[in-house]
Structure 1
Amino acid sequence: MSADHTATESPDTAEPHPPGRQLDWWHRDHPTFTALSGFFTGLVFVCLVPGVYLTVLDTMFSTETVEDLFPLVLVALAVPAVLLALPRTRRFGGYMLIGMVVTLIVVLGVGWLVLWVLLRTQS
């Protein structure tokens, strides 16, 4: 193998990339790429999925129906569960789950703290 051939060859396959197109080393090898992308995917997942789901339901159904259907958003928890079950995505799914849990802890903790401060200052 020549030096030119190894620079354009993917580590996973022996097929060379098209000329001028090379994968960045951190996209395929850097140990924190999967962790960071999984964590922030979990954070965005917790923030956006319930809001988008509620917005879509609200535009399609009455308020009573929306209140009855909103708990079905918990089905979205199957996404990190499936990612954890598959060997190829297990690491990403674990960090996604960590991102989801940390986001929920922070949101609930800050909400509780704000409520406590408001109740203490009102007395």
Structure 2
Amino acid sequence: MSRRLMVLKLYVAVALGGMLGAIGRYSISIIMESDSVFPIATLLVNLLGCFLLAYLMSASAIKNRISTEVFTGLTTGLLGAFTTFSTFASETVVLWNYNPSMAVVYVLLSLLLGLLLAYGGFLLAKKGRRST
């Protein structure tokens, strides 16, 4: 397979994954729409993304069974578009203007729980490697 075709397949995989991730993220924000100023949908999406990306990046059983294009489409495309740092940042600024202490809680929850869930995804993938 030529290098150009391989690169093209990766771009298509990222584009398709990105489209699905963006639709998924938008759908969750619509489903979880509330009158609250606290951005719970973004928090949940980003936390889920932390767990899933760490799991996929660490799960050699998955990485070895799927093509590079599918793996890149899932990680860079789908999860890259599903999670969102720019929304997190802008919602934090809006929240800060409304209630600074709530903004601090949001940032701490995002950071601490995100790291904890990423570590959980890594541990789950590591456990899966031992059982296979």
Report the TM-score when normalising by structure 2: 0.38
Give the structure with the higher percent helix.
2
Give the structure with higher Rg (CA).
Answer: 1
